[in-house]
Amino acid sequence: MLRPPNSLSGMLHRLAVEGVLRFLVSGQCYGGNISSATCFRLMLDLNKRVYNHTPGPCRIVTGITDGAAGLELVREVGIVIISTGLANAYGNETVRGGLAMIQLEKEMAKHETKPVKIEGEKFDQNKFAPLGISSYYSKGRILVYVVNSHPERQCVEIFTYHKDKNVLFHRKSVCDARFTSIYDVVVVSADRFFISNLAYMSRGKLQTAELVMQSSFGALYFFDGRTVSLHESRLSTPSALAIDRKRKLIFVGSLLNENVRVYALEKDYSLTFRTQISLLSSPAGIHIEEENGDIWIALHPVLHQAYLVTLYPNDEKVRSSSQVLREDGVSWVITEPYANDGATISASNAVVYDKDHLLIGSMFGRLLHCDVLNPSIT
């Protein structure tokens, strides 16, 4: 059993010293010399809001009421797999974590999901709170990798999806003592994947303190088929992950730094930092359109609202703004296909796009489907 790299008391002392120093010294914040107190207020986005707009007609997908915090498009078969029931990880035991699916078709008379049955002797559905999803398609076989963010079981659950029966067979769990707040997973090859760990502390008051002090104790782990190894540490709140297999790029979102880091994926699965995309909005889910290299990002544009939603995941009156950005793969121009103040969809956490179908998933509530009328300018 591996132990955390530092003892708890040592870590707390380090946090306290670093926090005090941060507040005493003016530092770089959004490119300017701004006091840390003001930086904190700016980080929470107290002066921000979104203004509603859609890329075309939208409708709520039926069948999802307990969140769609993770979405994964299996492009080869036109299926989107959906994480649902994340509120279970935030203390709501009446909500059951599970997975659902929707088949994307050219003309969809109905926008409805189907729950996916999960089979497997060692799989415990009562300790399942799915978040990020990734998939790997090979020779007709669909492998699905799901981040289980349940506080008692931080693992990546590996399934095989049987499309005809709509069943996921649980094959394996990849767990590690260093997984404290795993968020997303991205598969680079069969049973080889990267995992983002948002913060050193598990979800709760200590994690909040860590995040408030704007520490950089998040990490990126790599599973090589047998063992988990630390790939990169001292990252600020790594959240969403995505891969562009065609261009061999890995994308890592930072929730609090409000950017996306772009890495080149080498043959030995090492990552070489390439560039950083500043968003000034907190990325939660990333989807890559492989044909053209476009990057679709679901974000929390007003962070203090998103935080309140995580405190009250059941309360429908507590809402957070939703936002989808798209970065053009050629010109790098950023457009905003969707924005909503939370009345239609609250706290967008995931997005997928395929042939003018846009699916936006919320943390604890609805799944939204939109038509994209003008894909090139929206």
Partner 1 sequence: MVLDVNKRAYNHRPGACRQVEGIAHGSEDIALLEDEGIAFITSGIFYMSPRGKNVKGQIFLYDFNQEGTWKAEPLKINGKYDQENFHPHGLSHIVTSTGIVRLFVISHSKAFEHSVMVLDWNRKTRQLDLVKTIRDEKFIRPNDLAAVSEEAFILSNDGSAQMAVTNLLEILSLIPSGSVVYYDGKKSSWLIPRTTSPNGVILDRERKHLIVSHINDETLSVYKIGEKYRSLSRVIDVPLLTAADNFYVDKDGAIWTGAHPVLKEAFPHLGDCEDLSKYAPSQVLRIKFSKDFKSWEVTEPFVDDGRLISASSIAVPFKNQLLIGSVCRQLVHCDITAETI
Point out which residues pair with 260 in neighbouring strands: 253, 277
Minimum separation from the CB atom of position 378 to partner 1 (A): 6
What is the full DSSP assignment across 117-149? EEE-TT--GGG--EEEEEEEEETTEEEEEEEEE
273 touches partner 1 (CB under 8 A)? no
83 touches partner 1 (CB under 8 A)? no
| Residue in the block written with tokens 């090139």 | 376
377 touches partner 1 (CB under 8 A)? yes
**Which CB sits closer to partner 1, 166 or 335?**
335
Out of 47, 121, 205, 234, the residue judged to bind partner 1 by CB under 8 A: 47
116 touches partner 1 (CB under 8 A)? no
**Which CB sits closer to partner 1, 157 or 327?**
327
Out of 334, 354, 356, 375, the residue judged to bind partner 1 by CB under 8 A: 334
| Residue in the block written with tokens 């189907």 | 114
27 touches partner 1 (CB under 8 A)? no
Task: Sketch the per residue contact string, 313 through 332, with partner 1: x for CB under 8 A, - otherwise.
Answer: ------------x-------
**Which CB sits closer to partner 1, 198 or 325?**
325
Q: How many CB atoms lie within 10 A of CB 7?
A: 10
Distances (CA, A) of 75 to 79, 103, 104, 135, 323: 7, 11, 10, 10, 23
Out of 34, 118, 167, 206, the residue judged to bind partner 1 by CB under 8 A: 34
SS3 253: strand
304 touches partner 1 (CB under 8 A)? no
Distance, in Å, from the CA atom of 283 to the CA atom of 324, rounded to the nearest integer, reads 9
Task: Report the phi/psi class of residue 10: left, alpha or beta, with left for phi > 0 and alpha for psi in -120 to 50.
Answer: alpha
Distance, in Å, from the CA atom of 211 to the CA atom of 230, rounded to the nearest integer, reads 21
Out of 52, 62, 229, 275, the residue judged to bind partner 1 by CB under 8 A: 52
Distance, in Å, from the CA atom of 375 to the CA atom of 114, rounded to the nearest integer, reads 28
Out of 48, 153, 171, 192, the residue judged to bind partner 1 by CB under 8 A: 48
**Which CB sits closer to partner 1, 33 or 227?**
33
Q: Is 328 annotated as a binding residue?
A: no
Tell me if 70 sits within 8 A of 83, measured CB to CB: yes
**Binding site as annotated, residues for Ca(2+):** 133, 184
Q: Which residues bind partner 1 (CB under 8 A)?
A: 29-32, 34, 38, 42-43, 45, 47-57, 278-280, 325, 333-337, 339, 341, 373-374, 377-378
**Binding site as annotated, residues:** 133, 184
